[in-house]
């Protein structure tokens, strides 16, 4: 029985999906380099544990941790390398990758190099052997250079591009808000005009006496419609403000 259970999240974030809000999807994607570094460190830690421990249960748990972290590493590495063929990826992420990824050959090379070392560890374990100290050292050296500096540069560049894309989103959202508010002003103007027409109609219906009763009913209905329109306009303004507040909180 294992002394500990090295279970941890390895799946890609669900927020990368095309049905997610654009800013949320971008934030999830920009977090992938950090997650890749975490999985890389986990592979290193569990490999060193497997190489150093003399306890069978610890070795078994370490092997399990290496395999699990390697799978998480592979999922992210595959996405970064094959983003253009990834089914269901959010269009805004694809747009960001079109800007960023053509310039990341050195990063992808570093990711592949570390993955090659991981595959070597996995082959040893698949054969029923234990990774030795030399293998753990090679993994650590590759993690230190070129993987670590390449990922730091990659994270900084992706964050900068992400800020640029976010600024575009904010400008589009501000434009949509301005158009919505102008629409509300037009709706309010129409509602006020309709209410004035309704008031005049009621006055004329009162002057007409019994002959104007039907016209008076219509005038009251027009007044009620005007009031509902004004209420809907107020709700529209509140909804736009709430959307913008939530957007800027993302």
Q: What is the DSSP string of 117-161?
A: HHHHHHHHHHTT----HHHHHHHHHHIIIIIHHHHHHHHHHHHHH
Query: 207: which 2 tokens?
Result: 């002057």
Tally of residues, the chain:
250
3-state class of 186 per DSSP?
helix
How far is Cα 35 from Cα 239, in angstroms, rounded to an integer? 35
| pLDDT band, very low/low/confident/very high, at 27 (cuts 50, 70, 90) | confident
What pLDDT does residue 178 have? 66
Q: What angle do CA 190, 216, 209 make, to 5 degrees?
A: 140
Return the structure tokens found at 55: 């306890």
Mean pLDDT (whole number) for 152-159: 86
pTM score, whole prediction: 0.68
Q: What is the pLDDT of residues 39-68, one digit of tens each?
A: 999 999 999 999 988 888 889 999 999 999
Q: What is the mean pLDDT of residues 146-158?
A: 90
- Residue 226 in contact with residue 198, Cβ under 8 Å? yes
Separation between Cα atoms, residue 96 and residue 135, nearest integer Å: 37
């Amino acid at each position: 029985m294992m002394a500990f259970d090295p279970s941890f999240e390895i799946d890609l974030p669900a927020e990368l999906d095309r049905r997610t809000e654009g800013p949320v999807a971008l934030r999830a994607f920009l977090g992938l380099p950090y997650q890749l570094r975490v999985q890389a460190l986990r592979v290193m830690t569990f490999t060193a544990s497997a190489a150093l421990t003399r306890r069978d249960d610890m070795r078994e748990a370490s092997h399990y941790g290496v395999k699990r972290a390697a799978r998480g590493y592979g999922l992210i590495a595959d996405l970064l390398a094959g983003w253009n063929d990834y089914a269901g990826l959010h269009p805004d992420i694809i747009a960001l990758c079109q800007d960023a990824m053509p310039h990341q050959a050195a990063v992808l090379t570093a990711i592949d190099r570390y993955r090659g070392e991981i595959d070597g560890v996995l082959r040893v374990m698949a054969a029923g052997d234990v990774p030795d100290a030399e293998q753990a050292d090679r993994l650590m050296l590759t993690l230190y250079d070129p993987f670590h500096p390449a990922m730091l540069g990659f994270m900084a560049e992706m964050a900068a591009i992400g800020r640029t894309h976010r600024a575009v989103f904010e400008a589009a959202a501000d434009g949509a808000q301005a158009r919505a508010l102008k629409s509300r002003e037009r709706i309010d103007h129409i509602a006020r005009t309709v209410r004035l027409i309704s008031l005049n109609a009621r006055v004329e219906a009162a002057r007409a006496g019994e002959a104007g009763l039907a016209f008076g009913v219509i005038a009251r209905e027009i007044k009620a419609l005007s009031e509902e329109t004004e209420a809907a306009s107020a709700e529209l303004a509140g909804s736009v403000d709430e959307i913008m507040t939530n957007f800027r909180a993302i």
